[in-house]
């Protein structure tokens, strides 16, 4: 199995990210771990900068509704504080573009689902960040898409066609 060199996970309150940190920090190979939040609910990023759990008051109005979280999980916080390499806060314009980009490769993802691609694109657009990251040109990058097009009308408004015309999300359980 090929292990990723860089892993991008949506933050929400941090529970899923804590699981990813536990998994990817347990072996000898240590990929770069990137957490993605939306710009006005970046509670993990603000907490990391403060060195303690911090509340980011709302209202949180991003179209990435699954990321509209103002406080990190108390249970997840210790793993988040010590295991994430990069935290990226992105806005709705990046999310819309990521929804369109995923649709171009037949992935019908909603705005929250596309957040990881949005965050990765924003990270790669920052010259200072790129300079600090390892060379990713021959890397395996894992972007976690956590939802399909949960709001078909919003999806069609962003992409210009229905989720069904783009593709479908397959779930594989082993």
Total number of residues shown for the chain: 174
Instruction: Provide the pLDDT for residue 173.
Output: 54
Instruction: Provide the pLDDT for residue 65.
Output: 94
Q: Please, which residues have CB within 8 angstroms of residue 30's CB and are 6 or more apart in sequence?
A: 24
Q: What average pLDDT does this structure show over 100-110?
A: 95
If pLDDT is split at 50, 70 and 90, which confidence band does 51 have? very high
Q: Which domains does the chain have, with CATH numbers?
A: 6-166 (3.40.50.1100)
Measure the CA dihedral 170/101/35/144, to 10°: 10
| CA–CA distance, 158 with 173 (Å, rounded to integer) | 30
Q: Is the pLDDT of residue 111 over 80?
A: yes
Instruction: Provide the pLDDT for residue 29.
Output: 80
Q: What average pLDDT does this structure show over 55-64?
A: 94
| CA–CA distance, 54 with 61 (Å, rounded to integer) | 19
Q: Is the pLDDT of residue 83 over 90?
A: yes
Q: Is the pLDDT of residue 31 over 80?
A: yes
Q: What average pLDDT does this structure show over 30-58?
A: 95
Q: What average pLDDT does this structure show over 102-122?
A: 95
**61-79 residue pLDDT tens:** 999 999 999 999 999 999 9
Most confidently modeled of 27-31, 47-51, 166-170?
A: 47-51
**141-174 residue pLDDT tens:** 999 999 999 999 999 999 999 999 997 655 555 5
């Amino acid at each position: 199995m090929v292990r990723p060199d860089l892993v991008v996970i949506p933050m929400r309150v941090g529970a899923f990210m804590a699981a990813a940190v536990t998994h990817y920090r347990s072996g000898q190979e240590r990929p770069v771990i990137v957490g993605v939040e939306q710009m006005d609910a970046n509670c993990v990023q603000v907490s990391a900068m403060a060195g303690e759990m911090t509340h980011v008051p709302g209202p949180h109005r991003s179209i990435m509704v699954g990321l509209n979280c103002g406080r990190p999980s108390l249970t997840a916080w210790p793993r988040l504080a010590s295991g994430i390499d990069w935290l990226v806060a992105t806005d709705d314009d990046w999310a819309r573009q990521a929804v369109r980009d995923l649709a171009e490769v037949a992935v019908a993802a909603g705005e929250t689902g596309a957040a990881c691609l949005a965050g990765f694109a924003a990270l790669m657009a920052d010259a200072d960040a790129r300079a600090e990251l390892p060379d990713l040109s021959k890397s395996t990058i894992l972007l976690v898409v956590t939802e399909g097009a949960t709001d078909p009308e919003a999806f069609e408004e962003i992409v210009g066609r229905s989720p069904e015309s783009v593709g479908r999300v397959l779930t594989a359980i082993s």
